Chain A
Amino acid sequence: AIQMTQSPSSLSASVGDTVTITCRASQGIRYELGWYQQRPGKAPELLISSASTLHSGVPSRFFGSGSGTDFTLTISGLQPEDFATYYCLQDYNYPRTFGPGTKVEVK
């Protein structure tokens, strides 16, 4: 199975900051990667598919990039509702595998 890693595991930031989360796959997955946001007590929500395609209704401050094994999610101008945990998920093959998550906390 493809292993997904994320860094950092957590970070502290303030409203208005720009934060970057990295996801790495143990083998090349082309651009077959999605990013998900999970707020406390809520189901995850799709932010970005195919590494860089913003899902309908997702604010443009979310930006995804990368291909192959290395991917990033950047949030520009952090908003109060963005404090959450973020997961990457490879869509390249089965079994699907998630990264362990990155928790974005209030500084």
Chain B
Amino acid sequence: QVQLVESGGGLVKPGGSLRLSCAASGFTFSDYYMSWIRQAPGKGLEWVSYISGDGSIIHYADSVKGRFSVSRDNSKNSLSLQMNSLRGEDSALYYCVREAGHSGYDALDHWGQGTLVTVSS
């Protein structure tokens, strides 16, 4: 079965950096577009970033553009999110999510359990 397991969250000071990882299993990882979605405590869902199966197509939310960088290693079935210049408003639970199809414009059919990022001095 599809499994997505995030790691790398934690407490970081404003201006600091953190790298999130997502280990995928149960499907052919390289065939699927992957996204990062976040949810601040008690708030709604926010799409953060997306990467195509071969890594050639990448999009970011304006709120993280220039600070976050998404990448993937298909040989290791791994997705990463490098987060730099972190701000308080980046504090959230970060979900690793698989897109259902192969077009990049599909629903999000599998979600990890999330990893918590807290940005605070």
Contact = CB atoms under 8 A, between A and B. Distances in A.
Decide whether A and B are members of one complex: yes
Contact of B108 (A34, A99, A100): A34
Interface in A49-69: 49-50, 55
A91 B106 contact: yes
A55 B100 CA distance: 10
Interface of A: 1, 32, 34, 36, 38, 43-46, 49-50, 55, 87, 89, 91-101
Nearest to B61: A95
A99 B44 CA distance: 8
A1 B107 CA distance: 18
Nearest to A53: B107
Given A49-B100, A98-B47, A32 B105 contact: yes
A98 B107 contact: no
Contacts, number: 59
Nearest to B103: A91
B109 A55 contact: yes
B116 to A, nearest CB: 12
Contact of A98 (B44, B62, B111, B112): B44
A100 B44 CA distance: 6
B47 A95 contact: yes
Contacts of A45: 111
B61 A34 contact: no
B114 interface: yes
A49 B105 contact: no
B46 interface: yes
Nearest to B4: A43
A95 B58 CA distance: 11
B50 A91 contact: no
